[in-house]
Amino acid sequence: MTATLLRGRILSFLRWPETAEDMAACRYEEDGGLLLRDGVIADAGPFDEVKARAGADVPVIDHRPHLILPGFIDCHAHMPQMQVIASYGTELLGWLNTYTFPEESKFVDAQHGRRISRLFLDEVIRHGTTTVVAYCSVHEQSAQAFFAESHERNMLNIAGKVMMDRNAPEALRDTPQSSYDDTKALIAEWHGRGRQHYAVTPRFAITSTPEQMEMAQALMREHPDLHLQTHLSENRAEIEFTQELYPWSRDYTDIYERYGLLGPKSLFGHCIHLSEREADAMSETGSVAVFCPTSNLFLGSGLFDYLRYRRRPKPLRISVASDVGGGTNYSMLRTMDEGYKVIALNGEKLNPLASFWQLTRGNAEALSLSHRIGTLEKGTEADIIVLDSSANPGMRLRMETVRTLAEELFLLQTLGDDRAVAEVYVAGKPAKSVLGTK
């Protein structure tokens, strides 16, 4: 198997950076080398040393002066919402009924699912995301399409067929039994095949009957190593309606709690309006709150209190995500730019090193996958991005005055988008430059 040696300014993170000066939290190699072999990072360090160990024959791809980082991880996005993104003028429940449900109904057509899955993963890669945690539609064929496309690209992705059996148009409703059967079949076919991971995906408490929640519970009992994804506490009207549907519950989180759905592999989208009791329950179970800033601003849902959740006596595990198509951009740079502004509206600032920790190692830790992705450690999987901080005239000009790595990262976050992603490697192979050529 041939190896490839990447050369550039290599940056990864060892832990949460406390401040913009906390370079001890980073591993940074000004003239670094990353040796990729068999889809894995076989060696890393100063370029000259890695090159000497690799031998004179190894082909070198010189990415200088660009930055080389672990690929971005997007912990919550909806594949079937590519033609929902940028739909005007509603809050969550109206947006679901007016735009989202009609669009998701089209995924009864397997061919449509295949087309959108292909374009979705193209777009994800173009923006520098190498792992996405995706919702498919209620139709099992949409998840089939997603996994087939993801497997062909050898991406490490996590996805699931949405379970929903009420409060949605008939064409989008499954039943408790069919959602269980379809999910079981998808797990058997796809979970652990290549780099594919299955996530049990009850959409949210509003669209699942208690009988379906029991099915989700049974699936998690039978497959305790799986991820689970759902939505929690996004919007005031949603919370109110949820409480009407589950009148016995103490609060929204209590519903998922009673069905045994909290836990370290459970990903809860939004978590904006949690009470202290709910946040404690999330923390005690190691559940993950997924911050979706562009979506929360676009739908007017509210301001996720990122730093307070991190600092509370019982801290929350947090990840960050695009939530396309409630979210408004595929780019995790654009996402963190909006995240910074949400945190600013909460009266605080997130330092740029912490932002990029979150998009890489932080999100990998939240997915319990940092032993495989998000770090550039030797032996981990070679999902890598190359970032160009001078990707457009405005960035190039601003770079003239940048003095530190933290300033450069902040520039990338504030002004960057897909144009700043010069190349993407998925399992050691170029994936962006080859889009549209196969």
Stretch that binds Zn ion, among 64-72, 102-110, 267-275, 399-407 (CB under 5 A): 267-275
For residue 65, whether the previous peptide bond is cis, meaning omega lies within 30 degrees of 0, is yes
For residue 16, the minimal CB distance to ligand GUN (Å) is 27
The DSSP 8-state label assigned to residue 80 in this structure reads: G
Choose the contact partner of 159 out of Zn ion, ligand GUN, none; CB within 5 to 8 A by kind.
Answer: none
Stretch that binds Zn ion, among 183-191, 233-241, 263-271, 307-315 (CB under 5 A): 263-271
Which residues sit at the interface with ligand GUN, rule CB under 6 A? 78, 92, 96, 100, 203-204, 231, 234, 295, 323, 326
- For 39-66, b/e burial (b = at least 16 CB within 10 A) is bebbbbbebeebbeebeeebeeeebeeb
| Contact status: 339 vs Zn ion (CB under 5 A) | no
| Contact status: 327 vs Zn ion (CB under 5 A) | no
Choose the contact partner of 294 out of Zn ion, ligand GUN, none; CB within 5 to 8 A by kind.
Answer: none
C-beta nearest to ligand GUN: residue: 326
* Per-residue tokens: 1: 């198997």
For residue 76, the minimal CB distance to Zn ion (Å) is 6
Largest CA distance in the chain: 70
Please give the helix or strand (H or E) that residue 10 lies within, else none: strand 3-13
Cβ proximity to ligand GUN: between 190 and 204 the closer is 204
Stretch that binds Zn ion, among 8-16, 145-153, 261-269, 297-305 (CB under 5 A): 261-269
The DSSP 8-state label assigned to residue 161 in this structure reads: P
d(CA 4, CA 36): 5
Dihedral sign, Cα of residue 151, residue 363, residue 376, residue 192: negative
Residue from 160, 269, 352, 362 binding Zn ion (CB under 5 A): 269
| Contact status: 202 vs Zn ion (CB under 5 A) | no
Provide the CB-side half-sphere exposure for 351 (13 A, CA).
Answer: 15
Cβ proximity to ligand GUN: between 206 and 333 the closer is 206
In the chain, DSSP finds a helix count (H) and a strand count (E) of: 17, 16
CA angle centred on 238, ends 226 and 267, rounded to 5°: 20
Choose the contact partner of 203 out of Zn ion, ligand GUN, none; CB within 5 to 8 A by kind.
Answer: ligand GUN
Cβ proximity to ligand GUN: between 63 and 203 the closer is 203
> Nearest-CA neighbor of 179 among 159, 148, 222, 208?
208
For residue 260, whether the previous peptide bond is cis, meaning omega lies within 30 degrees of 0, is no
Count of residues near Zn ion by CB under 5 A? 2
d(CA 145, CA 149): 6
| Contact status: 362 vs Zn ion (CB under 5 A) | no
d(CA 56, CA 60): 10
d(CA 6, CA 376): 12
Q: Which of residues 304-323 bind Zn ion (CB under 5 A)?
A: 323
For residue 150, the minimal CB distance to ligand GUN (Å) is 20
Choose the contact partner of 227 out of Zn ion, ligand GUN, none; CB within 5 to 8 A by kind.
Answer: none
Cβ proximity to ligand GUN: between 11 and 274 the closer is 274
Judged by the rule CB under 5 A, the positions of this chain that interact with Zn ion are 269, 323
